[in-house]
Structure 1
Amino acid sequence: MVSFEFLVTSLVVVLLPGTGVLFTVSTGLTMGKRASIFAALGCTAGIIPHLVASIFGLAAILHASSVAFEVLRYIGVAYLAYLAWAMWKESGVIALDNAPKATGASKIFVRAFLINILNPKLSIFFLAFIPQFVPPEASSAVLTMLLLSAIFMGMTLAVFIVYGLFSDFVRSYLSASPTLVQWIQRSFSGVFVAMGAKLAMVER
């Protein structure tokens, strides 16, 4: 039985702006709704390894191993810096074609996937979050956590798609102002730099 508390808490967590939300929104603003859906799919897929790691205890190993945690963390920092650079480089360029090529779609998916998979804090978060909502009377804790994880992923995908579609709606008004588009893209670039700095300074 899935509790109402789990659904509400999960929705709040998913709605909070993070790197995945920002990437999905920026993709929708600059490349359109179909591209934002690929971004949402990639971000959702990026949390699967963290959920699996949490359920089967691998997150505890990551938490115990300072070297593994630090290596993954700094790879994540470097990747966020790369995204910031790429967005700054492409600022002012807005694609009006809402049907990206297959290679473009796969590139967006991979970028989004890497954003979440390279954040070691997600594994630790899910390790602490999911077990809280497993009822004591559950016949199988693993199966219950898998169910909760599937629900969390579904909510993540749905909310991210809504974010992406909304950003595409806003995009139609922004396309008439290249200067504003450039300012927004560079703002997102700065946000990715800030998030990379925050990840670099976070304490375990």
Structure 2
Amino acid sequence: PRTKWQQTLVTKAFLLNILNPKLTIFFLAFLPQFVESGSSSPSLQLLSLSAVFMLMTFAVFAVYGLLADTFRTAVIESARVQAWLRRGFAGAFAGLGAQLALSGRDA
């Protein structure tokens, strides 16, 4: 069962994608050039091209989501990775602080 937070997130994502004008412009401007000019049912052909596009997009985003979940789990649940991340950030901030401290004030 989904939590209230997950349901809100899914609803927002759905509305964002449905109301996105770029997607509508893509379907109206790009896909019609792949419809055969002598086709008996151009609307059906356009709908099938749109369906193929949406299925491919869904598959790609599903893979992205699964990979993101796998990496998130690996990073959050690993004390070793967390320690290396903390050290890396500390080193980066120390380097930036040293650079700032040693930079000349040429005004």
TM bucket (normalised to shorter chain) is: 0.5 to 0.7
What corresponds to 1:115 in structure 2? 16
Q: How many residues align?
A: 80
Rg bigger for which structure? 2
Spell out structure 1 runs of 4+ moving beyond 4 A: none
CA drift of 1:150 comes to 1.1
* Cα distance in 2, alignment partners of residues 166 and 120 from structure 1: 28
SS at match of 2:7: helix
| Mapping for residues 1-204 of structure 1, pairs under 5 Å | 101-175=2-76, 176=78, 177=82
Relative contact order higher in (CA < 8 Å, ≥ 6 apart):
1
CA drift of 1:152 comes to 1.0
Query: Any gaps of 5 or more consecutive residues in structure 1?
Result: 1-99, 181-204
Query: Any gaps of 5 or more consecutive residues in structure 2?
Result: 86-107
Query: What is the TM-score with the length of structure 1 in the denominator?
Result: 0.35
* Cα distance in 2, alignment partners of residues 118 and 146 from structure 1: 18
Q: In the alignment, residue 128 of structure 1 is paired with which amino acid?
A: A
Q: CA RMSD in A?
A: 2.1
- For each residue in 1:145-194, what CA deviation from the matched residue of structure 2 results, as whole angstroms up to 9, or x when unmatched? 1111111111111111001011111112220439x6xxxxxxxxxxxxxx
